Amino acid sequence: MPSLNVLITAASRRVQLVAAFRHALKQAGLRGRVIVTDVNPLSPAVRAADEWYLVPMANDPAYLSEILAISEAERIGLVVPTIDDELVLFGEARTAFAARGIRVAVSSAHTSRTCNDKFETSRHLRERGVGAAAAWLPGNLPDPAPFPLFIKPRFGRGGVGAYAVHTERELAFFCDYVDRPVVQEYLAGPEFTIDICCDFEARPLSIVPRERVVIRAGVIDRGRTVDDPRLLQLGAAVADALPFVGAANVQCRMVDGVPIVFEINPRFSGGIPLTIAAGADFPRMLVDLAVGRHVAAAIGHFRDNLWMTNYESSVFLDAEEAAGTKRASSLGDVA
């Protein structure tokens, strides 16, 4: 039986993603383990994995060498980065991992840099004819400013520090208040995320739009899949303008019947469990690709109008487990 070990970095709260990769290995008929890294032993996803390692923050100079050492020690065949802070780093290091026979499901450093910069994302897409929200830096705003506007950190995430502004006074205040701000046109309309999975040659394999009906802390809390040609076409256009490897998600709003992009994250989305449940099993695709199997494109092949509603769950640890000095028993498949 062929084997594959998977390493998921910055596992944090991604219990369902860890469980999805464990399930994917079984469904693919592969022997293997899912191993995770994190900076905190209290992160719940470390309890769902077969093994876990404490590592420094992604901005630590030793971070990448530690991940590489873990990958070699655990005979990892597939690395799955999960947070914006590390995507460029892994994009630059793909060749170093490949030289050791390790696939990294991450887009190029150029793609990740572009997506991490909301001003550059807008410029890049609009120059290529892809519908994206107009964006300005504070010193280059039109006069008069086309209120309402939306202001957020140029390099932020999770909806933190994002504000709608309606007057010159509000604009001046938030341009000073928000760290390295970018100003976008205000988009009014239903919000969607388009999940995309691409192979290691950046060819799209699956595109699944989801409506974000209720959002909590920047992540979908309740939502549904939407089989809409306009959203599928937008996903394909974005993947053509910005080649992805592995998972990516495009956030947009439907404005007067036209979907307009306002943010892109070249990684797994928080709502990926809904996409997987709808039949677009991104972890299974990546697992098959990592062992050299052919994966046919299945654009638009998913269950339409499947709803997801989330709830909180808890993991209980004794003091030694919480401190990371003792391994807790795995949550296993119930995670």
The pLDDT tens digits for 59-84 are 999 999 999 999 999 999 999 999 99
Residue 329 binned pLDDT confidence (cut-offs 50, 70, 90) = low
Nearest-angstrom CA–CA distance, 319 and 35: 22
Instruction: Mark whether 244 and 266 lie in a shared domain.
Output: yes
How far is Cα 284 from Cα 288, in angstroms, rounded to an integer? Answer: 6
pTM score, whole prediction: 0.94
Q: Please determine, for residue 327, whether its predicted confidence score (pLDDT) is greater than 60.
A: yes
Domain span including residue 163: 134-185
Do the domain assignments include residue 241?
yes
Q: What is the pLDDT of residue 188?
A: 94
Q: Does any domain span residue 80?
A: yes
Domain of residue 162, CATH code:
3.30.1490.20
pLDDT of amino acid 334: 36
Which is nearest to 74 in space by CA: 23, 41, 34?
Answer: 34
Quote helix, strand, coil % in the chain, to nearest 5: 35, 25, 40
Task: Report if residue 118 sits inside a domain.
Answer: no
Residue type for position 312:
E
Q: Calculate the CA 29 to chain-centre distance.
A: 26
- Tell me the CA distances in angstroms from 316 to 42, 154, 165, 293, one per residue in order: 10, 38, 43, 39
The Cα–Cα gap between 6 and 282 comes to: 14
List the one residue out of 251, 219, 316, 214 whose CA is nearest residue 17: 219
Same domain, 300 and 196: yes
Residue 281 has pLDDT above 50, yes or no: yes
Instruction: State the Cα–Cα distance between residues 315 and 327, nearest whole angstrom.
Output: 13
Show which of 153, 185, 217 is a domain's final residue: 185
What pLDDT sits at residue 335? 35
Cβ neighbours around 126 below 10 Å, total = 16
Report residue 163 as tokens: 């504000």
Pair (282, 243) in one structural domain: yes
What is the Cα–Cα distance from 271 to 99, expressed in whole angstroms? 33
Residue 72 sits in a domain whose CATH number is 3.40.50.20
* CATH label of the domain that carries residue 298: 3.30.470.20
Q: Do 240 and 202 belong together in one domain?
A: yes
Between the two ends of the chain, the Cα-to-Cα distance in Å is 26
Nearest to 232 by CA among 297, 158, 310: 297
Token readout for 251 is 């956030």
* pLDDT for res 35: 98
| Same domain? 278 vs 327 | no
DSSP symbol at 230? H
Q: What percent of the chain has pLDDT over 90?
A: 87
Give the end of a domain, one of 185, 210, 228: 185
Domain-located, residue 112: no
User: Considering the domain boundaries, does residue 119 fall inside one?
Assistant: no
- Is 260 contained in some domain? yes
- Model pLDDT for residues 244-269, shown as the tens digit of each residue: 999 999 999 999 999 999 999 999 99
Together in a domain, 294 and 196: yes
What's the chain's length in residues? 335
